[in-house]
Structure 1
Amino acid sequence: MAGCIFCNIARGEEPMTTILYEDEKFVSFRDQRPGAPHHYLVVPKMHVGNPSTLTNKDIPLVESLAEVGNKVLQEQGGNMEDKRLGFHWPPFNTVDHLCLHVLSPTSQMSLLSSTIYSTTFWFMTVEKLLEKLEAMPADQ
């Protein structure tokens, strides 16, 4: 999508962004304003809207994002026991492109970061999003 910063990053058009992981479907890189010592973003290469646009058909996509997020966190030496993976919910997302936040260790997050990335109406963990998608009717 033209003008989408995450699409530009996925196409390698943002030279200031170091890609930590890339495969045929996803890219991962460091968050510009980290909320934890390890804070990575995982985005689909294909433009996908924010998490509120997802349906139960997108469950495999969310699961794959989480798999990549865990892989990147482990490769980067993050704490696999003290982590949080989730999505900002509109209107609290800054880019309208699906983006998984991977944070670790959560015990070292500041009070502000703990609030921004806590399970609330503005941030949804992978588990909560999967529950929401699984509860949707099958035709959605």
Structure 2
Amino acid sequence: MSAENCIFCKIISGTEPAQVCYQDDEFLAFRDIKPVAKIHFLVIPKQHFVSVNSLNADNISLVERMKECGKNIINELGGDITDIRLGFHCPPFNSIKHLHLHCISPTKDMSFLHNLMFRPNSWWFSTVDQTLENLKSKI
């Protein structure tokens, strides 16, 4: 999918609506339309990346900044920073072809199904820390 047809790029440009909870020059964060916990939002880079699989070692600092952004927003929203899940769905299990970090809190309230969908370090979901480990191994 090209950036001009990407729903997340349209949200960034303001041509599609979203419940924005944070924005700066590099990132936009907005509420997930199908939340799995009290706090569930996505942090997306304003630069279009197709997926976590399109990243390389040059993107380590980008992912680290996305992680910090997500943790800061959870904290600002009053979430339990000790009970969070931060991660990316892996192709072909990502429905939107624009890199997006799921930020979820508290995980203790997630259903069995949602725990499966966001299962850490599974074939379909990579935590932000596992993603960073993988990217660092490519140096």
TM bucket (normalised to shorter chain) is over 0.9
- Deviation, 1:40, is 0.6
- Deviation, 1:35, is 1.2
Tell me the secondary structure at the aligned position of residue 52 of structure 1: helix
- Deviation, 1:98, is 0.4
Map 1:1-140 to 2 at 5 A.
Answer: 1-15=3-17, 17-119=18-120, 120-136=122-138, 138=139
For 2:50 and 2:136, locate their aligned partners in 1 and report how far apart those are by CA, in whole Å.
19
User: Identity, % of aligned pairs?
Assistant: 43
Cα pair 1:11 1:45 within 8 Å, conserved = no
For 2:15 and 2:23, locate their aligned partners in 1 and report how far apart those are by CA, in whole Å.
14
Tell me the secondary structure at the aligned position of residue 93 of structure 1: coil
Please give the TM-score of this superposition, normalised by the length of structure 1.
0.94
Aligned residues: 136
For 2:19 and 2:99, locate their aligned partners in 1 and report how far apart those are by CA, in whole Å.
19
Tell me the secondary structure at the aligned position of residue 94 of structure 2: coil
For 1:37 and 1:79, locate their aligned partners in 2 and report how far apart those are by CA, in whole Å.
10
For 2:78 and 2:117, locate their aligned partners in 1 and report how far apart those are by CA, in whole Å.
23
| Offset from partner CA, 1:80-139 (integer Å, 9 cap, x none) | 000010000000000111000000100110001100001211000011000100011x3x
Tell me the secondary structure at the aligned position of residue 28 of structure 2: strand
Please give the TM-score of this superposition, normalised by the length of structure 2.
0.95
- Poorly superposed stretches of 4+, deviation over 3 Å: none
Specify every segment of 5 or more residues in structure 2 that has no aligned partner in the other structure, as ranges. Answer: none
Cα pair 1:19 1:28 within 8 Å, conserved = yes
